[in-house]
Amino acid sequence: MDIKFTAILCFCVVFVLQSGTFAAGIEKDGVGLFIFGDSTVDPGNNNYISTVPQFRADHPPYGNNGFFDSPTGRFSEGRVIVDFIAEYAKLPLIPPFFQPEADFSNGANFASGGAGILLETNEGFVVDLQKQLDQFEEVQNKLVEELGSVEAQKMFSEAVYFFSIGSNDYLGGYLGNPKMQELHPPEEYVGMVVTNVTKAIQILYSKGARKFGHLGLSPLGCLPIMRAIASDPNGGCLGVGSVLARSHNSALSTAFRALASALPGLTIADSNFFDFLNDRLEKPSEYGFKEGVKACCGSGPYGGIFSCGGQREEKEYEVCEDPKNYVWWDAYHVTESIHKQFAEAMWAGSDAVIQPTNLRELFQTRLDSSHAALRDEL
Contact 307, 332 (CB under 8 A): no
First-to-final CA distance of the chain: 50
Cα-based angle 46, 51, 56 (whole degrees, multiple of 5): 45
SS3 328: strand
- Measure the CA–CA gap between 315 and 121, rounded to whole angstroms: 26
pLDDT of residue 235: 87
CB burial string 285-300: b at 16+ within 10 A, e below: eebebebbbbbbbbbb
Q: CA-CA distance, 10 to 115, in Å (whole number)?
A: 9
Quick one: pLDDT at residue 276? 86
Residue 112 designated active-site? no
Q: Is 256 exposed, middle or buried (0-12, 13-18, 19+ CB in 10 A)?
A: buried
- Reply yes or no on whether 376 is catalytic: no
pLDDT at 29: 53
pTM: 0.91
CA neighbor of 174 nearest in space, from 161, 164, 185, 160? 185
Whether 244 contacts 170, CB under 8 Å: yes
| Catalytic-labelled residue, pool 38, 271, 299, 333 | 333
CA distances from 45 to 75, 96, 107, 139, 343 (A): 11, 5, 15, 15, 21
Question: What is the full per-residue pLDDT of the chain (378 aa) written as tens digits?
Answer: 443 444 444 444 433 333 333 344 444 456 899 999 999 999 999 999 999 999 999 999 999 999 999 999 999 999 999 999 999 999 999 999 999 999 999 999 999 999 999 999 999 999 999 999 999 999 999 999 999 999 999 999 999 999 999 999 999 999 999 999 999 999 999 999 999 999 999 999 999 999 999 999 999 999 999 999 999 988 899 999 999 999 999 999 999 999 999 999 999 999 998 888 889 999 999 999 999 999 999 999 999 999 999 999 999 999 999 999 999 999 999 999 999 998 999 999 888 899 999 999 999 986 543 344 444 444
Phi-psi region of 115 (alpha: psi -120 to 50; beta: other; left: phi over 0): beta
CATH architecture of the domain formed by 3-377? 3-Layer(aba) Sandwich (3.40)
Catalytic hit among 167, 271, 330, 337: 330
What are the sequence ranges of the domains in the chain? 3-377
CA angle 94, 100, 106 (to 5 degrees): 25
Cβ-contact 304, 296 below 8 angstroms: no
Question: Distance between CA atoms of 36 and 90, rounded to whole angstroms?
Answer: 20
Q: Is 39 a catalytic residue?
A: yes
Of the candidates 19, 39, 112, 164, the residue annotated as catalytic is 39
CA-nearest of 87, 91, 65 to 76 is 65
Distance CA 337, CA 295 (A): 14
Which of 378, 339, 376 has its CA nearest to residue 80? Answer: 339
